[in-house]
Chain A
Amino acid sequence: DGGITQSPKYLFRKEGQNVTLSCEQNLNHDAMYWYRQDPGQGLRLIYYSQIVNDFQKGDIAEGYSVSREKKESFPLTVTSAQKNPTAFYLCASKGGEAYGFTFGSGSWLSVV
C-alpha cells in the first residue's frame, strides 16, 4: 500500500541534543511538508519541499532543519536551538491528484 511512514512514534530529547524525525513516502509525490501541532491547537508549517534538493521555510522554521536528498525522504531535525520542542509532528506529501495531502501517523517529541 502507498503511504507515508513516520518514525519513531515517540521520542525523548535531552537538553542540548539534536534529534531527527524520519519521514518516508512511496506515493511518488514531489512535495513534502512538516507541520507541528501543539496539544489542542492547529497545524503550523515548519518546512516544505517542492522538489529534491530544494526546500523552503514555513512559519516556524527557527530551531529546525531539513534535507531532501531523495524524493522519498524528508527528515526533520529538531536542534538544540528549539527551546520548546514538545509537540506532535506531522509529515505530509502532496501530489497532483485530486486528494491533495496524505499525512503520516505523526511523531510525539518530548523533552526530558
Chain B
Amino acid sequence: LAKTTQPISMDSYEGQEVNITCSHNNIATNDYITWYQQFPSQGPRFIIQGYKTKVTNEVASLFIPADRKSSTLSLPRVSLSDTAVYYCLVARYSSASKIIFGSGTRLSIRP
C-alpha cells in the first residue's frame, strides 16, 4: 500500500492559486492518484485523478512528475467555498483492495 504524506493545514486568500503537494514514495506502477474534497459532515467528493504528467478539469489541475513519487493539486483563484479538507489517495482503481486515506490537508481561505 502506498503511504501518502500531506501538509496538515494551509491558509490562503481569495483569488490566489493554491498548490497542495502529496508525497507517495512507494507508489506502484499501476497505482493512480486521486484527490478528494471534503466539507464538514459530508462525504468526500472526487476532484481529479491522474497517472502521470498533467491533468486539468474545470475545477483543478494535477501535476505529477516523471518519477510519480509526489503530486500537486492546483486550485486556481480560490474562493471562500474552497475551504475544506483535501485528501490525496493512491490506489489501483481497477481493483478493490484495502484502501487507506491519509490525514488530509485542511485548507482555509480568507477574504
Contact = CB atoms under 8 A, between A and B. Distances in A.
Interface of A: 4, 30-31, 33, 35, 41-43, 45, 48, 50-51, 56, 58-59, 88, 90, 92, 94, 96-106, 108
Given A96-B94, A97-B93, A98-B49, A103 B43 contact: yes
In the complex, the 5 A-B pairs of residues with the closest C-beta atoms, listed nearest first: A103-B43, A31-B96, A50-B96, A42-B103, A43-B101
Contact of B99 (A94, A97, A108): A94
Contacts, number: 69
Contacts of B42: 105-106
A33 B41 CA distance: 18
Given A4-B43, A42-B103, A106-B42, 20 more contacts: A33-B99, A35-B101, A41-B103, A42-B101, A42-B102, A45-B98, A45-B101, A51-B96, A88-B41, A94-B93, A98-B49, A98-B93, A99-B34, A99-B93, A100-B89, A101-B36, A101-B46, A101-B89, A103-B44, A105-B42
Nearest to A48: B98
Q: Is the interface of B mostly helix, strand, loop or mixed?
A: loop
Contacts of B102: 42
Contacts of A41: 103
Give the interface size bracket for B toward A: 20 to 34
A43 B101 CA distance: 6
B18 interface: no
Interface of B: 32, 34, 36, 41-46, 49, 87, 89, 91, 93-104
Contacts of B97: 50
Contacts of B101: 35, 42-43, 45
Nearest to B48: A99
